[in-house]
């Protein structure tokens, strides 16, 4: 039994934070599902930019579309949906076995829409309809505008992966939007089971603060934020408000640990994975982290609801000069801007590939 299987048996879903045509065409993703307990997959503009720019495997699909003169953004979504649908089909048995709680592949709306609720809603609905698979999640950033879109998409029956959450405040806003969307469906007499995860980014906290914190506090901020967020998560979904929705047939929005690869080379590759083992959650891992944890990862105690140690850690970090609330806002803005940069690079790469194929 691998350590990943142990995590799975503890009630945590293992998702892969990567996608590429190579993973699909070589059977690697199928092997990870069969052998490493992988039951889901996430993507983002940076992942797709790396996959498409570094490979010729997309060239045939681009060639087929040359005569249509598609805008680069539309070309990207057609290519990406080919991959996402193929991954969703591989994950369909996990989706069916879990009753629609697990087995998802995620695709993100354009990151340029992070501050535009209406455009996010329209694109989210269109992507889900085009995918044509019930186990595709639409990734929406947890910005102020994104929170508005989350409620509307859930109310419309579109499964959502909320991304770019960096604090329990960010998480609570996303979870409340999910709950409001489900409540609207119940009030309208519609099926309240609309899948969702809320993705809290963890290691980026430590990457931004390790050099300014004393040795005893370095690489502890991300886990402290995660512990406090987990406490909020359990509280929301143990509430009477949620119990009423569950009785109507709703499934909980699960908390997902994102950015769980280590940024500090002195840490074990599975540092965040071991610490964040928790029933009812998802851990989406970069491929490097997945393989390293499968080989030598350790599973200890699962995460509890007591956040007193996390509170003490955060108090010490604040005393050391870190403005945690300001940093959360900065991390979200930087994450959004980073995805926009990858998006622009991706569209430029597609235009370059298309021009080269036309010339050939």
Q: Which residues are catalytic?
A: 139
> If 0-12 CB within 10 Å is exposed, 13-18 middle and 19+ buried, where does residue 216 land?
exposed
Check: CB of residue 195 under 8 Å from CB of residue 105. no
74 vs 55, 66, 138, 190, CA distance in Å?
Answer: 19, 12, 16, 32
C-alpha span between 88 and 42 (Å, rounded) = 11
Cα Rg of the chain (Å, integer): 20
C-alpha span between 163 and 174 (Å, rounded) = 9
Check: CB of residue 263 under 8 Å from CB of residue 203. yes
Tell me which residue has tokens 């997309």.
58
C-alpha span between 62 and 359 (Å, rounded) = 13
- 84's enclosing H/E stretch is helix 72-97
C-alpha span between 253 and 281 (Å, rounded) = 9
Going through the chain in order, the beta strands assigned E by DSSP cover 13-16, 38-41, 105-108, 136-141, 160-165, 196-201, 254-258, 281-285
3-state SS, residue 139: strand
Check: CB of residue 185 under 8 Å from CB of residue 155. yes
Tell me the sheet residues that pair with 40.
Answer: 15
């Amino acid at each position: 039994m691998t350590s990943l299987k142990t995590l799975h048996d503890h009630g945590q879903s293992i998702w892969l934070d990567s996608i590429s045509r190579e993973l699909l065409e070589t059977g690697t993703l199928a092997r990870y599902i069969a052998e490493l307990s992988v039951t889901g997959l996430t993507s983002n503009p940076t992942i797709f930019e790396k996959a498409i720019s570094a490979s010729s495997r997309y060239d045939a699909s681009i060639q087929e579309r040359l005569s249509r003169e598609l805008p680069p953004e539309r070309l990207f979504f057609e290519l990406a949906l080919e991959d996402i649908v193929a991954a969703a089909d591989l994950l369909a048995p996990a989706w069916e076995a879990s009753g629609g709680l697990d087995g998802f592949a995620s695709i993100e709306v354009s990151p340029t829409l992070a501050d535009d609720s209406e455009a996010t809603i329209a694109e989210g609905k269109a992507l889900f309809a085009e995918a044509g698979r019930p186990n595709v999640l639409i990734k929406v950033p947890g910005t102020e505008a994104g929170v508005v879109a989350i409620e509307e998409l859930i109310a419309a029956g579109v499964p959502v992966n909320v991304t770019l959450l960096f604090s329990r405040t960010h998480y609570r806003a996303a979870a409340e939007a999910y709950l409001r969307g489900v409540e609207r469906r119940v009030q309208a007499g519609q099926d309240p089971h609309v899948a969702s995860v809320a993705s809290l980014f963890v290691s980026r906290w430590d990457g931004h603060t390790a050099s300014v914190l004393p040795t005893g506090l370095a690489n502890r901020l991300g886990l402290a934020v995660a512990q406090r967020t987990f406490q909020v998560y359990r509280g929301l979904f143990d509430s009477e408000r949620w119990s009423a929705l569950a009785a109507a047939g709703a499934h909980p929005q699960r908390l997902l640990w994102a950015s769980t690869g280590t940024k500090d080379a002195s840490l074990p590759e599975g540092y965040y994975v071991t610490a964040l083992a928790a029933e009812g959650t998802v851990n989406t891992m970069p491929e490097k982290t997945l393989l390293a944890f499968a080989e030598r990862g350790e599973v200890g105690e699962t995460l509890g609801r007591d956040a007193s140690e996390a509170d003490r850690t955060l108090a010490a970090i604040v005393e050391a000069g870190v403005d945690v609330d300001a940093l959360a806002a900065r991390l979200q803005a930087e994450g959004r801007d980073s995805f926009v940069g990858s998006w622009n690079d991706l569209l430029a790469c597609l235009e370059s590939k298309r021009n080269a194929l036309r010339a050939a």
